[in-house]
Amino acid sequence: MATKLVVPSEPDELMALLGDHRQVQAYFSREAVTDGTTKKFLDMYAKHFSSRHNDFNTEIRDQVSAELFDMLRANGGGRTPVGADKLIDFSNGSPRFAPSMAAVGKGRGAVYNKLAPGAVFEQKYRNEDRFSSIGEYCQAIREEARPSTLANRQELLQKLQNVREFQNSFGSEEAGSGGFLIPEIMRSELLQLALESSIVRSRATVIPMSTLSVPIPTVDDTSHVSSLFGGVVFYWAEESASLTETQATFGQIRLTAKKLAGFFKVPNELLADAPAFSGWFDQRIPMGLAWFEDLAFMTESGVGTPEGFINSPGVATTNKESGQASSTILWENITKMYARMLPTSIPNAVWICAIDTFPELATMALAVGTGGGPVWIGNFAGGQGGKDMPPVTILGRPVIFTEKVPALGTTGDINFVDLSYYLIGDRQQVEVAASEHYAFQNNQTAYRIISRVDGRPWLQTPLTPHNGSSNTLSAFVQLQTR
């Protein structure tokens, strides 16, 4: 007679069952293994458990994705390993990371990561044993450096000790070796606030980095004249005729974490009031982080810094018009830049312009015979999203004005870009350290914050379109110096 299965659904119930000799004999004896009872029991327990713990299933998927990404990195070398192309999605006609890659995030969805090193701290300690704010965290770092009469001094120092015990498990190359590792919740809050004022990170493809260097597969796709994706060809064939094998070609770019360090001084009177300090920190520090990241992601050379998309090898540069005056932008420039964008990227593309290009854009006119008229496309009737800035567009795509790109008349003063083709490698670690000695005479405490990131365009060269036009296409388009 078959054994009637009584299957637990929680780990505690399973442990109780395993402590009962009779039930262990019924479910795990040699006879139970032979007649399939053991397999049936384990399958039913797994089904019951997963149906009651959906978050556990999500964690498994995240961990599997992370392990696949680590495997890809470990087998990097000069070319992408066999099977790595499955991590890239070609469904939209352009190479992108597959949606199943949970280790890869986009914009606002790439802030908190439960697999980040700092997240382990939150899993180990209860809420009451962790800092409730950045202000309290920085206050505790200062308290350790000198005695004070704060009523919660011991509580602050105990929480700081919890952080220290946690970060001691990291090696010398990890963030926190010269300061205190910020737990993941605080790091994600910092980045979330930075996203509010960032241009590139909020639109880029963000890749978590579990090591200091990560190779990323890229399709060696330079021309669509005779093939796609660096070698894939479709063709019409007769019935039963032999087929010619084609294969995509993959290359590699490497993201290597660079150190971005911030330094600021805080009056001790402000620091003594943790809520007030958190209010200041939550506004100023994320704005500074976003500012300097944007500068690097747009304009830096890539030597000891991220590589900016302006003047990168993958840029398509549009020539100025014959006889065009210096420091001007013509309607012909705009239309020709639009025509150099990858067609599949147009729905994602934005214009990033220096603020001093505004007069040129706002007064730009199209001559028609002896007449003509303005071509500016904007709505100045009201703000967008509760903000004062009007929702400005050119040819239907949003315009972002900034002082972070080169001045009017210089290459990079106006850019048409699809930033999903910009890769940001995020080390997922931020450290903070304090010193009361540096500005002791001014009654101030100096803080240092270090983040490790890298960034570079995924597209390494402009693309020759299928029609063989000499006007190459790219996800990054700019106008020649004039």
Instruction: Considering only residues 49 and 454, tell me which one the structure prediction assigns the higher pLDDT.
Output: 454
Residue indicated by tokens 């000499």: 470
pLDDT recorded at residue 99: 45
Element (H, E) at 274: helix 274-299
pLDDT digits 0-9 by tens, 411-436: 999 999 999 999 998 887 777 777 76
Angle at 135 between CA 130 and CA 139, to 5 degrees: 85
- Over residues 395-423, the mean pLDDT reads 95
CB atoms within 10 A of CB 3: 15
pLDDT digits 0-9 by tens, 120-151: 666 666 667 777 666 677 777 777 766 666 67
Residue indicated by tokens 């304090």: 434
Instruction: Please report, for the chain, the start and end positions of each structural domain, with discontinuous segments joined by +.
Output: 82-234+243-482
pLDDT digits 0-9 by tens, 62-105: 555 445 444 544 444 433 333 334 444 544 544 454 444 434 44
Indicate the angle between helix axes 37-52 and 21-28, nearest 10 degrees: 110
- Over residues 30-37, the mean pLDDT reads 78
Q: What is the rounded CA–CA span in Å between residue 91 and residue 425? A: 24
Looking at the DSSP bridge assignments, the partners of residue 33 are none
Q: Which one of 182-196, 203-217, 328-342 scores highest in mean pLDDT?
A: 328-342
Kindly report which listed range (3-12, 87-96, 197-206, 264-273) carries the lowest average pLDDT score. Answer: 87-96
pLDDT recorded at residue 177: 47
Kindly report which listed range (68-82, 170-184, 302-316) carries the lowest average pLDDT score. Answer: 68-82
pLDDT band at 253 (very low <50, low <70, confident <90, very high): confident
pLDDT band at 326 (very low <50, low <70, confident <90, very high): very high
pLDDT band at 335 (very low <50, low <70, confident <90, very high): very high
Q: Which one of 150-154, 344-348, 406-410 scores highest in mean pLDDT?
A: 406-410
Tokens of 270: 């402000």
- Asked if 357 contacts 329 with a C-beta cutoff of 8 angstroms, the reply is yes
Share of the chain above pLDDT 90, in %: 24
pLDDT recorded at residue 197: 78
- Asked if 462 contacts 212 with a C-beta cutoff of 8 angstroms, the reply is no
pLDDT recorded at residue 264: 78
143-147 — which CB contacts under 8 Å span 24+ positions? Answer: 145/434, 145/435, 145/436, 146/436
**Nearest-CA neighbor of 414 among 361, 344, 467?**
361
Q: How many separate helices (H) and strands (E) can be counted in the chain?
A: 13, 19
Please say if the pLDDT value at position 176 is more than 50. no
pLDDT recorded at residue 382: 45
Q: Is the pTM of this model over 0.85?
A: no
Q: What is the rounded CA–CA span in Å between residue 394 and residue 312? A: 24
Q: At 216, phi and psi to the nearest 5?
A: -115, 130
**Nearest-CA neighbor of 355 among 286, 408, 304, 418?**
408
The helix/strand/coil state of 392 is strand
Q: What is the rounded CA–CA span in Å between residue 350 and residue 94? A: 17
The residue type found at 282 is: D
The helix/strand/coil state of 47 is helix
The helix/strand/coil state of 243 is coil
The helix/strand/coil state of 158 is helix
Write the CA distances from 317 to 307, 337, 361, 471, integer angstroms.
17, 8, 19, 9
Please say if the pLDDT value at position 472 is more than 60. yes
pLDDT digits 0-9 by tens, 201-251: 989 988 888 778 888 777 666 766 666 655 666 667 677 767 666 565 666
Residue indicated by tokens 């007030």: 276
The helix/strand/coil state of 97 is strand
pLDDT recorded at residue 287: 83
- Over residues 470-475, the mean pLDDT reads 91
- Over residues 3-7, the mean pLDDT reads 67
